[in-house]
A and B are shown apart, each in its own frame.
Chain A
Amino acid sequence: MTSPSSLRAFSKALAPRGASRRLLRAASSSIPALSPAHRRSYSTHPPNAKLNLPTDYSTTPLLAHSPHAALGNPELPPEVRNGTTKRMNLFQAVNDALSIALAEDESVLVFGEDVAFGGVFRCTGKLAETYGGDRVFNTPLTEQGILGFAIGAAAQGMRPVAEIQFADYVYPAFDQLVNEAAKFRYRDGACGRSAGGLTVRMPCGGVGHGALYHSQSPEALFTHIPGLRVIMPRSPLQAKGLLLAAIRSNDPCVILEPKILYRAAVEQVPTGAYALPLSKAEVLKEGSDVTVVSYGQPLYKCEAALRQAEKDLGVSVELIDLRTIYPWDRETVFRSVRKTGRCLVVHEAMVNAGVGAEVAAAIQEDPETFLRLEAPVARVAGFSIHTPLMYEAFNLPDVARIYDNIKKVLEY
């Protein structure tokens, strides 16, 4: 029952045998001989595509492919920079962060549906064996209960890390997050207690064929709530540092982990304990003509698009990862847009009232940045529809759309 492999298969729930990595591998080689009727039914890449090619995670500059690249990150503390690294994918990095948190702080707890077996995506593998069933345990299927319970434990000074199995399942727990977790400090007032020890992890985003209840990106719903910190990491190194920061943070944090990256994104991750700054964006690539703001998985598509745009159009594009989506780092974005005069926001969630709307509005509200704008702020995001089973890849921002919009804001 507690065999670490017991739920291994669930982690591959997204493809019959072999999860997203295999999916990507299959997609990156030319599609094997399928009959024409089946060729593009789900999320395979179009044949002869020039831009919408599968992301090659083994070469993308967004991942640290060497220990040198990983340890060169200036945000790491000196002792970690002088330490070692290990090749990890995103779920292993999450596991590493949880393991460090459990080891360094007795008040850290990890629980959720099936987490004692390692969880659907293997993020909590072996933690129950190592740290004991009283600190890492399964809960019943009760999302509202899980978060209410976690908030109570946090109010007592514990540091619970609660897992919601898929971000799509969080809605019954929404009340607990909005009305309890976020408002706790404000309500408690003079007693000085809060639910600040709370961290909620949930896998989000498209994966190829998740359909209505396994592909949503609900981050914008949480960004509306003062009191919460909403975080989405782009890579294993980032996930480890941001998760540790969230666990140590004294505000309730919601971490959305792009599930397609769990296995696909592999990089060198420092083995030491380190936290990356919350509410701080990161300029991934400097440029002078257009600013592309994104977070999570679409950053890889942005990177491919801007590389091509720079080659074709002879321009220089700046790429910013928001990392914390709320409260977000306006200054870094404003500074960039004041330099480039053009901005494009890219996210996977649907466009209506999304993070792109907030970023675009903030840019035009800031007088100095507004006066520097050479073109309207553009958004590339998911369609304002429910995620259908079919054609999921078309529902998400793709390289061609991002490329096209870089071009558009330049030509405005």
Chain B
Amino acid sequence: MIDVKGLTKSFGKLDVLKGIDEHIYKGEKVVIIGPSGSGKSTFLRCLNLMETPTGGEIIVEGESITDPKANVNLIRRKMGMVFQHFNLFPHMTILRNITLAPTTLKLMTGEEADKTAMELLERVGLADKADSYPNMLSGGQKQRIAIVRALAMKPDVMLFDEPTSALDPEMVGEVLDLMKTLAEDGMTMVVVTHEMGFAREVASRVLFMDDGQVVEQASPEEFFSNPKSPRLKDFLSKVL
């Protein structure tokens, strides 16, 4: 589904990604972990061109998105993204936050969008918040709304950039639960996170990144019980 070939990214003289080759299959839940500064967020953000790669190629469903002629906006419609800091639009109601993109891009009429949004809100148990503004919500609620907002575009893949890192500990659970439900529904997901429990439970594959490269990858059982590279062993001994 997503094919990454020789991806590199530099900020000025700093090489953040040093050549990544990866394939993400449909329905896979790929969890990326690694120390901060290892390039895992940058890698994720390259997948929907939030960051422009310096070199290499990314092919999404047969289409090269790193081609300068590729229509970035069309590609992003099919790739939902959830941010660490939610990034809800504070001047709009929750309902409008969700319906803005589908209606502006003329993918749905106002009524359809409202209906879809209410159904999604119902599913995450926040239907009563439809007319509230984002700053009336708790962090966990905000992040669930942010996920719903991305889902309203009916994406083929969801990218999560440390979705629980900015949350109070007691709110992490509600967000992870929603992500688990999403995974069970068969959504293709790429998740950058520090939640090892989530990785163990939900991932179909765990990648360990360090110093701009994928150092090791395996199924979660293999990954956590039998790490091979010394760098990963060291990392796991610190976080587990």
- Do A and B belong to a common assembly? no
A-to-B contact residues, CB < 8 Å: none
